[in-house]
Amino acid sequence: MTAVRALHLCALWAFAVVAPLFNELGSNAEFFVARGNTRADILLMAFGLTLVPPLVLSLLVAVADRIRRPLGQALQVGLVGLLLAVFALDLLERVVTGTALLLIGATALGAVGAAVYARIPVTRSFLTALSPAPAVFLVAFLVFSPVKGLMLDSAETVGSSVASSSPVVLAIFDELPVTSLMDARGGIDAASFPSFGRLANTSTWYRNATTMADGTYLAVPSILSGRRPISDLPTARRYPDNIFTLLGGHHDLHVLEPITRVCGACDDQRSSAPAAQRLDALLSDLAVVEGHLLLPRDLADGLPPIDRDYEDFAGQEAGVEAPSRPTPARGDRRRSPRRIAGDDLFADRLREAERFVRRVARSGGRPPAAVAHFLVPHVPWRLLPSGAQYPVGGPALPGSKGRVWSRDRFLGEQAMQRHLLQVGYADRLLGQLVARLQAAGLWDRALVVVVADHGIGLRPGGSRRQITRNDFAAIAGVPLFVKVPGQRKGRVADAPARTTDIMPTIASILGVRDRPRFDGVPLPARERTSASNPWLRVRQGRSGELVSLRFDTFVRARDAELARQRRSFPHGVGSLSRIGPNRWLLGRRVRSLPVSHGPPQVHIDHDNAFAYVDHHSGVVPVYVTGHFTGRRKESGVPLAVGVNGRIAAVGTSYPVRDVARFSMLVPSHSLRRGRNVVEVFAVTAGRLVRLGRAPR
């Protein structure tokens, strides 16, 4: 009897918890690729999740049964009702709106189901008949979903016949639209991004280049292979002919591939981490995923988002903490921060990127081939151009509602502001990469390609990442620079280049004789045949739908997006701090303005961060965030932030569920070393009303 009851719990657990999670993970198998999970990790997770929890519950029932049989029966019925309620919650959410109604309905159905289970024997027989469900879900997940591809061995790096001994550098930035680098005249904004400006002066800039997909797991393999993206795993088995097989037999490969696994023979540091550490991180993230799947939408909104990265879901929201005490002086204090702060995944990836750049020129006797996918300026946005980070309080992306932006103009400008600051760090990383190549004497004779995998939409009311016709230009348009060996003069090419043209271009320049099949063409040939196909097509997410736009329409839309961006930031990075209402206040001394004082009405996040600021610690608290605590909780309140007695930022409050929040970026130079006083004011008819102060 005990065994039968255990089968009932296993079956209900499988339907209520396992099936939704396996369905989600099976459709997003790149989740495991990006994390570096091994076959053993996946098998342990799958079998453990399916069998261990219901067996533990069954053991509890058996213990209760030994204590007192009615107690065991009551616990069994209660667990059945709970699992039925979880299962009903998923079904009801498709037809019922309102969190309270959902929870009441699911609880009622669970209670009714438990009563029926206890009183009607045929229902218990029905559950016994469903006992093979866990095994069915396991087989479906491991054998009949895309996860099957991860159970197979990766392809080998074999190499091709390469005539040239030129060093090769392919740098892929993540989530970088070409408009973010452009000035008002359509050139590179060298004043804001000097490293990209210098690159443009010595390379060919394909100004109208577009990606082939709006997601990294499709776009990056397409770049690395020269093939159109396929809705499959981003692994060497699915893209067997790629830059690594092309150059692996002739060049020394230096690879940074944090999300995809197209380099089948490369050492994966993610997979070499201790198994316990990998499984602990996996279970932590699966708990967040399961929460999004099982909880009503209103409650799930309070969980860390799972649509901005592939791992460390809670960590990407937590961010970094400012130092609480002085950092010992070390070396020249005038230097920019060099140490990447933080112990989360984002900080680890930044350290990996900088470590790769430092080692890029190393060679074992053969010409080097450096291929790097830098995960900047991709969210989370918390970087300054210097490499210092700022703590983030409240929502990581204010104004973002899932895959779209709200129509709040201030939050839209702030999103662009934070994005461009992070582009500044990408520019710094590029400058370090070029400097290392020049110091090693490799730059002049190297073939260098710099590109982005895709862009990002930042239009109020528009799509953030999923490509649409309205946001095609911002998401599809990417920077693409090609410096051939010996090139010293830059030029601009306006041909409709595609990211699938990169691999054919590399193969052509290096004189590869036994070339694999490419879907793109060498870029010089693209320039000669630019009028042959006026349509651009980009694959949309996992749906595989192709979003099409005429090339001339794309160019007009890109220029319109650039004009919109320049209206907010006419001088690029130099005008980043001048957003929001009441800009006339910026730079004014607080004591020169009429100010009213009253009881505190706001809470400032990370308020202790201003007690001691050290620009060389790696963390600078320039992002002032918080929420209203008093009766005044309306959104749209004009606000100002004072730093050390001078207005440094202006903005407005905005709603987050039932709370009014605020977030404003102050210039880093407004914060001095040591203690800083930060004040938040409401702005009413030219008068300031002080709402809060930090440190308290």
Q: What is the distance between the alpha carbons of residues 554 and 472, in angstroms, rounded to a whole number?
A: 7
| % of the chain beyond a pLDDT of 70 | 90
Q: What are phi and psi of 538, to 5 degrees?
A: -125, 135
Residue 642 DSSP class: E
Q: What is the mean pLDDT of residues 483-495?
A: 96
Q: Is the pLDDT of residue 333 over 50?
A: no
- Rounded mean pLDDT of 74-78? 94
- CA pair distance 232, 29, nearest whole angstrom: 9
Question: What is the per-residue DSSP string for 368-405?
Answer: EEEEEEE--SPSS--B-TTS-B----S-SSTTEETTEE
pLDDT at position 628 is: 93
Confidence at residue 97, expressed as pLDDT on a 0 to 100 scale: 74
Q: Give pLDDT, residue 497.
A: 95
Give yes or no for residue 138 having a pLDDT over 90: yes
Q: What would the pLDDT profile of 367-392 be if each residue is shown by its tens digit?
A: 999 999 999 999 999 999 999 999 99
Neighbours of 166 (CB within 10 A): 21
Give me the helix-helix angle, 133-143 and 39-67, nearest 10°.
Answer: 170
Convert the pLDDT of each residue in 442-462 to its tens digit: 999 999 999 999 999 999 999
pLDDT at 179: 97
Confidence tier at 631 by pLDDT (50, 70, 90): low
Q: What is the pLDDT of residue 618?
A: 92
Least confident of 26-40, 100-114, 520-534, 552-566: 520-534
Residue 649 has pLDDT above 60, yes or no: yes
Instruction: Kindly report the backbone phi and psi dihedral angles of residue 372, in degrees, each rounded to the nearest multiple of 5, phi listed first.
Output: -135, 135
Q: Answer yes or no: are the C-beta atoms of 678 and 692 closer than 8 Å.
A: no
148 secondary structure, DSSP code: G
Q: Looking at beta carbons, which pairs linking 277-282 to residues 24 or more positions away fall under 8 Å?
A: 278/35, 278/36, 278/37, 278/38, 278/41, 279/41, 279/44, 279/45, 281/35, 281/311, 281/312, 282/35, 282/37, 282/41, 282/45
> For the whole model, what pTM was predicted?
0.90
Between 108 and 323, residue with greater pLDDT: 108
The pLDDT assigned to 230 comes to: 85
pLDDT for 270: 60
Write down all domains in the chain, each with its CATH number in brackets.
2-151 (no CATH), 168-266+343-575 (3.40.720.10), 583-694 (2.60.40.10)
User: How confident is the model at residue 160, as a pLDDT?
Assistant: 65
Determine the pLDDT at residue 584.
95
Residue type (1 letter), 592: S
Classified as helix, coil or strand, 347 is helix
What span, in angstroms and rounded, lies between the C-alpha atoms of 474 and 462? Answer: 10
Is pLDDT above 90 for 681? yes
Confidence check: pLDDT of 655 > 80: yes
Q: Which amino acid is at 356?
A: F
Closest to 443 in 3D by CA, of 101, 168, 185? 168
Are 317 and 327 contacting, i.e. CB atoms less than 8 angstroms apart?
no
**Using one digit for the tens of pLDDT, what is the confidence trace for 231-275?**
788 999 889 999 999 998 889 999 999 999 999 878 665 665 677
For residues 333-340, average pLDDT: 56
Mean of all residue pLDDT scores within the chain: 89
pLDDT above 50: residue 331: no
- For range 655-661, the mean pLDDT: 88
Measured between alpha carbons, how far is 606 from 531 in angstroms, rounded to an integer? 55
Indicate whether 308 pLDDT > 70: no
Residue 489, pLDDT > 70, answer yes
Orientation angle between helical segments 216-225 and 502-510, nearest 10 degrees: 20
Query: What's the pLDDT at 332?
Result: 47
pLDDT at 33: 86
- Whether the per-residue pLDDT at 79 is higher than 60: the answer is yes
pLDDT at position 327 is: 53
What pLDDT band is residue 295 in, cutting at 50, 70 and 90?
Answer: confident
